[in-house]
């Protein structure tokens, strides 16, 4: 099949660039040094390529991702790097034999995990991103509480999400040192082997973590593209030109096909004006005709992928495989 036969908008992933990205990362962080995050691609076929590159443990953001990974035979060591108020579906996975670890940051989330029959937790520490995670000084007490509830505490996690996207590498490094200092000191009070942290923007700077949770590196986006990382933009949204006016052109990928929270998407050889629900208005350097195809590069990979059912793996204009985006939903 050719890409010209696909219904648009359609998610394309360049087979060679994807393979290069996976290899570059596994060379830098082999085996369990990387715990790939599946939230960016939500695709078990892609996760299988990461497993084939040597990574046996994975990071998930939702219970649905955890379930899908277990069903796909990738449940050897799954971390839900997120809090849940009801862990009962994770208890089912643990009873089926999957190794399930869950982030906890409060008495309530510890109790939820213990009630569900999940055995292992990481104490989630806030290292500067105002999101989940306990204050560092609370981590030791929560670890004691988890152990008293019969849980095994594998260590800590602390996601530096306020740092991973900083364009200035030296600022990224300096802020990381401060964040990870807090995490390492919490780890000393918590005990256990694991210090889980990091993302694509800090994968080669974070030497404090025992494992890095990067996910975007496989597909990439234009926001991360500004950081000069050794990962190529393998993901694009194939779109069709549907209207041409004097001065601008419109393609059929709008904000229902593209994650926009990191800004407008890009089109090579064109200036993007704006996106609306089903439309991308742009000014190409050379004229396009209705029916022409353009590859739109998303600014944020995770929400973009979450809008689509399938990833079409391509070699140039040839579609070599279709992968379900099978970890969507909740
Ligand atoms: C908890 C957690 N860990 C790690 C990551 C790293 O992902 P990325 O590779 O996109 O930087 C994320 C991304 O949002 C995250 O939420």
| pLDDT digit string, tens, across residues 100-130 | 999 999 999 999 999 999 999 999 999 999 9
- pTM equals 0.97
What is the distance in A from the centroid of ligand 1 to the CA of 280? 28
For the CA of 214, the nearest atom of ligand 1: 9
For residues 209 and 305, state if they share a domain.
Answer: no
For residues 50 and 198, state if they share a domain.
Answer: yes
Q: What confidence score (pLDDT) does residue 248 get? A: 98
For residues 135 and 75, state if they share a domain.
Answer: yes
How many whole angstroms separate alpha carbon 161 and alpha carbon 159? 6
Q: What confidence score (pLDDT) does residue 178 get? A: 97
For residues 145 and 279, state if they share a domain.
Answer: no
Nearest CA to ligand 1 atom 11: 199
Q: What confidence score (pLDDT) does residue 71 get? A: 98
For residue 120, being part of any structural domain is answered with: yes
Count of structural domains, the chain: 2
For the CA of 217, the nearest atom of ligand 1: 9
Q: Which of 166, 196, 219 is the last residue of a domain?
A: 219
Q: What confidence score (pLDDT) does residue 196 get? A: 98
CATH code for the domain in which residue 143 is found:
3.20.20.10
For residues 317 and 194, state if they share a domain.
Answer: no
Ligand 1: residues with CB < 6 A are: 37, 40, 81, 159, 161, 164, 199-201, 213-217
For residue 98, being part of any structural domain is answered with: yes
Query: Nearest-CA neighbor of 211 among 183, 169, 172?
Result: 183
For residue 330, being part of any structural domain is answered with: no
What is the distance in A from the centroid of ligand 1 to the CA of 131? 12
How many whole angstroms separate alpha carbon 103 and alpha carbon 60? 11
For residue 261, being part of any structural domain is answered with: yes
Give 213-238 pLDDT, tens digit per residue.
999 999 999 999 999 999 999 999 99
What is the distance in A from the centroid of ligand 1 to the CA of 214? 6
Q: pLDDT band at residue 94, thresholds of 50, 70 and 90?
A: very high
Query: Nearest-CA neighbor of 87 among 78, 170, 169?
Result: 78
For residues 145 and 96, state if they share a domain.
Answer: yes
Q: What confidence score (pLDDT) does residue 280 get? A: 98
Cα torsion 109, 114, 120, 123 to 10°: value is 30
Nearest CA to ligand 1 atom 5: 199
The answer to whether 236 touches 223, Cβ cutoff 8 Å, is: no
CATH code for the domain in which residue 303 is found:
2.40.37.20
How far, in whole angstroms, is CA 192 from its chain's centroid? Answer: 25
Nearest CA to ligand 1 atom 6: 199
How many whole angstroms separate alpha carbon 153 and alpha carbon 134? 15
For residue 95, being part of any structural domain is answered with: yes
For residues 99 and 202, state if they share a domain.
Answer: yes
What is the distance in A from the centroid of ligand 1 to the CA of 301? 11
**Which residue range(s) make up the domain with 73?**
15-219
Give 259-314 pLDDT, tens digit per residue.
999 999 999 999 999 999 999 999 999 999 999 999 999 999 999 999 999 999 99
Tokens of 192: 């256990």
The pLDDT of 141-155, averaged and rounded, is 98
For residue 72, being part of any structural domain is answered with: yes
Q: Which of 197, 219, 241 is the last residue of a domain?
A: 219
The residue count for the chain = 330
Q: What confidence score (pLDDT) does residue 110 get? A: 98
Give 10-62 pLDDT, tens digit per residue.
999 999 999 999 999 999 999 999 999 999 999 999 999 999 999 999 999 99
Q: Which of 154, 187, 219 is the last residue of a domain?
A: 219
What is the distance in A from the centroid of ligand 1 to the CA of 304? 15
For residue 68, being part of any structural domain is answered with: yes
For the CA of 81, the nearest atom of ligand 1: 1
What is the distance in A from the centroid of ligand 1 to the CA of 161? 7
For residue 193, being part of any structural domain is answered with: yes
Q: What confidence score (pLDDT) does residue 155 get? A: 98
Nearest CA to ligand 1 atom 12: 199
Pairing of strands 248-251, 266-267: unpaired
CA atoms within 13 A on the CB side of 315: 5
Name the residue of 42, 47, 164, 298 whose CB sits within 8 Å of the most ligand 1 atoms, as the mutation to test its pocket.
164
Q: What confidence score (pLDDT) does residue 255 get? A: 96
Give 163-172 pLDDT, tens digit per residue.
999 999 999 9
Nearest CA to ligand 1 atom 14: 161
Name the residue of 39, 234, 261 whose CB sits within 8 Å of the most ligand 1 atoms, as the mutation to test its pocket.
39
For residues 57 and 36, state if they share a domain.
Answer: yes
């Amino acid at each position: 099949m050719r890409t010209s036969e696909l219904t648009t908008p359609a998610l394309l992933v360049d087979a060679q660039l994807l393979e290069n990205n996976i290899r570059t990362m596994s060379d830098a962080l082999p085996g369990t040094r990387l715990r790939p995050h599946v939230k960016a691609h939500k695709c078990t076929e892609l996760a299988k390529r990461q497993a084939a590159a040597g990574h046996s443990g994975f990071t998930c953001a939702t219970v649905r991702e955890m379930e899908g990974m277990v069903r796909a035979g990738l449940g050897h060591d799954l971390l839900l790097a997120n809090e849940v108020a009801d862990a009962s579906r994770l208890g089912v996975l643990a009873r089926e034999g999957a190794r399930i670890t869950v982030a906890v940051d409060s008495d309530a989330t510890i109790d939820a995990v213990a009630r569900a029959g999940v055995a292992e937790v990481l104490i989630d520490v806030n290292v500067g991103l105002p999101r989940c995670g306990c204050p560092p000084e609370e981590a030791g007490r929560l670890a004691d509480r988890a152990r008293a509830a019969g849980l095994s505490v594998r260590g800590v996690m602390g996601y530096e999400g306020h740092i991973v996207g900083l364009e200035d590498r030296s600022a990224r490094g300096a802020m990381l040192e401060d964040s990870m200092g807090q995490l390492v000191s919490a780890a000393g009070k918590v005990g256990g082997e694991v210090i889980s942290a990091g993302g694509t923007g800090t994968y080669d700077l974070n030497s404090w973590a025992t494992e890095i949770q990067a996910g975007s590196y496989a597909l990439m986006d234009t926001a991360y593209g500004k950081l000069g990382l050794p990962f190529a933009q393998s993901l694009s949204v194939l779109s069709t030109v549907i209207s041409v006016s004097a001065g601008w052109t419109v393609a059929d990928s709008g904000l229902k096909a593209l994650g926009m929270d990191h800004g407008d998407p890009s089109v090579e050889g064109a200036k993007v004006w704006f996106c609306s629900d089903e439309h991308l208005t742009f000014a190409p350097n050379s004229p396009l005709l209705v029916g022409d195809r353009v590859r739109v590069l998303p600014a944020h990979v995770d929400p973009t992928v979450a809008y689509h059912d399938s990833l079409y793996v391509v070699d140039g204009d040839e579609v070599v495989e279709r992968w379900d985006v099978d970890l969507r939903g909740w």
